Amino acid sequence: MTRIREKFAELDSKKEKALIAYIMAGFPNEKSTLSSIRGLVKGGVDIIELGFPFSDPLADGPVIQNASTISLEKGTKIAKFFALVKKIRNETDNPLILMTYTNILYHKGYAKFITEAKKAGIDGFILPDMSIEESKEYLQAAKNKADTIFLISPNTSKTRIQKISKVSSGFLYLVAVFGTTGVKTGIKKYTLDAIKQVKKQTDGKIPVGIGFGVSTPEDVKKYIKAGADAVIVGSAYLKLIEKTPQNKIESKIASFTKSLKKETIL
């Protein structure tokens, strides 16, 4: 069992759902990233998603776009990122997921990138522009090394949900809304329906996480109630990091995390 699935099994036995937190590596600098991680762990996060910046993040809204730009300007590079992952790995056993765009892996070579990422401590990948049709080489490279977490949208057909869940491992990432990351639209009925539909189609074989626009304890509560196995909070964390002075990041992140985590305990 992978570290991600072990985490879900452990939570299951404790009657808890998973809180997944996304932060952008190197935003606004490496020190803040490490403080954020410590805050997340202290606050009881279950899984950590680390963003690696890409020049053209076309699935992301303004908050993550801005964080990508700043991280790149601060000189975030792949080797430095893997070194950071190693440091994080020394501090926590929580599963670590890398979220970036296809070209970053393709350019280095899928196999080479995934092998190095695994060595540093990465357990899975999320690539929002990787469709299952183009995923053959990526899947081969990740086999027995890392989980491949694909995305599902509220407009994904039943047959396609089945296809996507076949090549996904770790969990399925259900996009809550039509839109980019971090856009607040309120909780829509079509999202709640989508959670039910994906749960039905996958029949408990793989956990279902929900993300995009999930930002408050109330959001978490409602999505968990609707049947999600995990909630993913991203832009809200970046906004908090942006407005918090360096020496307060750890404590602020910890208390925000606690407030979210509370709602995942059944």
Nearer to other proteins, 34 or 72 (CB): 72
Which amino acid belongs to residue 80?
K
Nearer to other proteins, 140 or 259 (CB): 140
Buried b (16+ CB within 10 A) or exposed e, 85-115: beebeeeeebbbbbbbbbebbeeeebeebbe
Binding-site residue total for other proteins (CB under 8 A)?
A: 39
Choose, from 49, 123, 250, 263, the residue flagged as catalytic: 49
Tell which positions 168-197 bind other proteins, by CB under 8 A.
175, 178-180, 183
* Pairing state between β 230-233 and 18-24: parallel
Which amino acid belongs to residue 167?
V
Using CA atoms of 247, 238, 75, 25 in order, give the dihedral in degrees to the nearest 10. Answer: 90
* Per-residue contact string for residues 104-123; x = within reach of other proteins by CB under 8 A: x-xxx---------------
Tell which positions 142-161 bind other proteins, by CB under 8 A.
150-153, 155-157, 160
The window from 14-22, 37-45, 131-139, 250-258 that contacts other proteins (CB under 8 A) reads 131-139
Q: Which of 34, 78, 167, 226 binds other proteins (CB under 8 A)?
A: 78
The answer to whether residues 175 and 155 touch, using CB atoms and an 8 Å cutoff, is no
CB 41, min distance to other proteins, A: 29
Q: Which of 65, 148, 215, 235 binds other proteins (CB under 8 A)?
A: 65
The answer to whether residues 122 and 96 touch, using CB atoms and an 8 Å cutoff, is yes
The answer to whether residues 52 and 95 touch, using CB atoms and an 8 Å cutoff, is no
Order of strands, sheet of 96-99, starting from the edge strand that comes earlier in the sequence: 147-149, 124-126, 96-99, 47-51, 18-24, 230-233, 208-211, 172-175, 151-152
Q: Which of 9, 58, 265, 266 binds other proteins (CB under 8 A)?
A: 58
Choose, from 30, 46, 60, 147, the residue flagged as catalytic: 60
Q: Catalytic annotation on 219?
A: no
Closest by alpha carbon to 149, among 16, 1, 4?
4
The answer to whether residues 35 and 246 touch, using CB atoms and an 8 Å cutoff, is yes
CB 30, min distance to other proteins, A: 17
Q: Catalytic annotation on 60?
A: yes
Q: Which of 2, 29, 102, 251 binds other proteins (CB under 8 A)?
A: 102
Which amino acid belongs to residue 49?
E
Contacting positions for other proteins (CB under 8 A)? 54-59, 61, 65, 69, 72, 77-78, 101-104, 106-108, 128-131, 133-134, 150-153, 155-157, 160, 164, 175, 178-180, 183
Point out the residues that are catalytic.
49, 60
